[in-house]
Amino acid sequence: MFNEIHLDNNLTIVYNRLSHLKSVSLGVWIGSGSRNETADNNGISHFIEHMVFKGTKNRTSKDIASEIDNIGGQINAFTSKDCTCFYTSTLDSDIDIAVDVLSDMLFNSLFDVEHIEKEKLVVFEEISMYEDDPEELVNDLLTEGVWSDGPLGYPILGTRKSVANITRETIFEYMADHYIPDNCVISVVGNFEKEYLIDLLQGKFGSWKPRNYCRFFPEQPKFKSHYIYKEKGTEQTHLCLGFRGFPMKDRRNYALMILNNIIGGSISSRLFQKIREESGLAYSVYSFPSTFRDCGMFTIYAATNPASAQKVISEICREIEKFLKHGISEAEFIRSKNQLKGNYIIGLDSTTAQMVSMGKSKVITGVVKTAADILNDIESVTPDEIMETARWVFDGRYMGIAVLGGTPLSEPCPDQYI
């Protein structure tokens, strides 16, 4: 059961005490990510995520790593479209060290000019790494095409040009606008004494000065149907089909997650069984939903021999058409619902997974659901709701296709579906 409190500076803390454990995960969430950027500073959220590990007034970069390593803990961070998170996992007895290190990184980072220029080279290499990963690259192509009219389509890492433009001054300007208590959530899961935790956070974060903050919500993105092809010297052709999804708070996401398990979210799914097991057309084929503050997307990915790419697209669309026409079987419905519930319950065994779920939900949507509420929402989904969701998602008027490889598709949008 989670609890929520607010410090005097409006900083929100959500926590779940699990006294039977010997560990604790703590995350500091900033409610801004790549979609809060401009074309000129694209990548700055991710760049700041890197830079806070490069040294503070009290610790060198090596000190930060060593202090957590010395207690057998973990420290990391990530940036998404909607938020940025800095987090630790440590023994419960070392929570004071975790809070001290994270607060020092956020409030006392030096952002040394020499380190900034050096870290740009690191990010350039990270961009190159993603460009060498066709699975990641084709997903980015799809996202950039579908949301091409706004910042949701920006790459999280930025571009080489936009990252090169980042300066110490632009970092401070961005942090002044976004790194403030009203735009932050601290999420804590594991074993701790509540009073000690609150005193600890008050001592390290309570002096963080609040200020009037109008959270920047970009204009709601419009899903843009498109076909995009990028030539790349790969052995396989990599395909992504994108359809409309739902915002994070939309209850239809539970029906969509069950639908995902049926379509391509597991090895018993229709696409895996048809395209890999029966036809042998692909080694990797799967689907997944993505949710954002105000919209979402449902993606299907496959990698195949270039000569089979057109057939794989056709088979995917044929399976969708078959599902829309004939519906869901009772066995599929029960299996997929149980799969979703089981995966969720297993995930509750991880303090980090719980911390991420609570923090992400609170900083993006403003609410956190209990495990019981989520399981009840999953259980309440009906076959009719799944079919209604499928008809909305698989509306051929809203479909993006991204192709990466040596040969473009001859028919990007098969007639039997669109």
Contact 91, 71 (CB under 8 A): yes
Say which of 49, 67, 315, 332 is annotated catalytic. Answer: 49
Nearest to 25 by CA among 364, 358, 375: 358
Give the β-pairing of 12-17 and 3-6. antiparallel
Looking up tokens 């200020």, which residue turns up? Answer: 211
Nearest to 26 by CA among 73, 71, 79: 73
Which residues fall within 8 angstroms of residue 130, CB to CB, at 6 or more apart? 136, 137, 140, 157
What is the distance between the alpha carbons of residues 56 and 68, in angstroms, rounded to a whole number? 15
What is the distance between the alpha carbons of residues 242 and 244, in angstroms, rounded to a whole number? 7
371, HSE (Cβ side, Cα atoms, 13 Å)? 15
What is the distance between the alpha carbons of residues 135 and 416, in angstroms, rounded to a whole number? 26
Sheet holding 184-190, edge to edge: 3-6, 12-17, 184-190, 23-30, 84-91, 74-79
Catalytic, 119? Answer no
What is the distance between the alpha carbons of residues 343 and 345, in angstroms, rounded to a whole number? 6
Nearest to 364 by CA among 60, 4, 32, 123: 32
Q: Report residue 252 CA to chain centroid gap.
A: 19
One-letter amino acid identity for 24?
V
Helix-strand-coil percent breakdown of the chain, rounded to 5? 50, 20, 35
Alpha helices in 109-239 (DSSP H): 113-131, 134-146, 160-164, 168-178, 194-205
What is the distance between the alpha carbons of residues 154 and 146, in angstroms, rounded to a whole number? 11
What is the distance between the alpha carbons of residues 115 and 162, in angstroms, rounded to a whole number? 17
Give the β-pairing of 226-231 and 184-190. unpaired
Catalytic residues: 49
